[in-house]
Amino acid sequence: MSRVSCDIIQDLLPLYHDRVCSADTKALVEDHLVDCPDCREVLSHMSSPMPLPAQTVDQNHDEGAGLRQVAAQWSRTKWIAFTKGLLLTCLAVGLLFLVYVGLFKWNITNVPTRVMQVSDISQLKNGRIVYHVKMSDGFNVNQASYDTDTEGKFYVTPKRPIIKSKRFADMGLSNMYYSIDIKEREKSLGEDVQIKALYLGTADDRILIWEQGMELPPASESVELQFKSDENENKRPPGQPSGP
The band of 232, judged by pLDDT with boundaries at 50, 70 and 90, is low
Cα within 13 Å of Cα(179), Cβ side: 26
Mean pLDDT across 149-159: 93
- φ, ψ for residue 148 (rounded to 5)? -130, 135
164: left (phi over 0), alpha (psi -120 to 50) or beta: beta
Amino acid symbol at 217 = P
Q: For the chain, give the mean pLDDT.
A: 84
Q: Is the predicted pLDDT of residue 240 greater than 60, yes or no? A: no
pLDDT for 101: 75
| pLDDT tens for each residue of 22-77 | 998 999 989 998 989 998 988 888 877 666 566 766 676 667 777 778 777 888 88
Q: Residue 187 and residue 139: Cα distance in Å, rounded?
A: 34
SS3 (DSSP) at 132: strand
SS3 (DSSP) at 123: strand
Kindly give the pairing relationship between strand 197-201 and strand 206-211: antiparallel
The CA angle 185-187-192, to the nearest 5 degrees, is 110
Helices (H) and strands (E) counted in the chain, each on its own, are 6, 8
Amino acid symbol at 186 = E
Q: Residue 219 and residue 126: Cα distance in Å, rounded?
A: 10
pLDDT for 128: 94
More confident residue, 161 or 152: 152
Cβ–Cβ under 8 Å, residues 159 and 107? yes
Q: Is the predicted pLDDT of residue 220 greater than 80, yes or no? A: yes
pLDDT for 2: 61
Nearest to 141 by CA among 133, 132, 130: 133
Q: Residue 97 and residue 239: Cα distance in Å, rounded?
A: 32
- Provide the 10 A C-beta neighbour count for residue 110: 16
More confident residue, 239 or 115: 115
Q: Residue 157 and residue 147: Cα distance in Å, rounded?
A: 8
Cβ–Cβ under 8 Å, residues 188 and 238? yes
For CA atoms 90, 96, 98, 100, the dihedral sign is: negative
The CA angle 145-147-150, to the nearest 5 degrees, is 175
The residues, ordered by sequence, that sit 6+ positions from 115 with a Cβ below 8 Å of its Cβ are 135, 136, 137
Model pTM?
Answer: 0.56
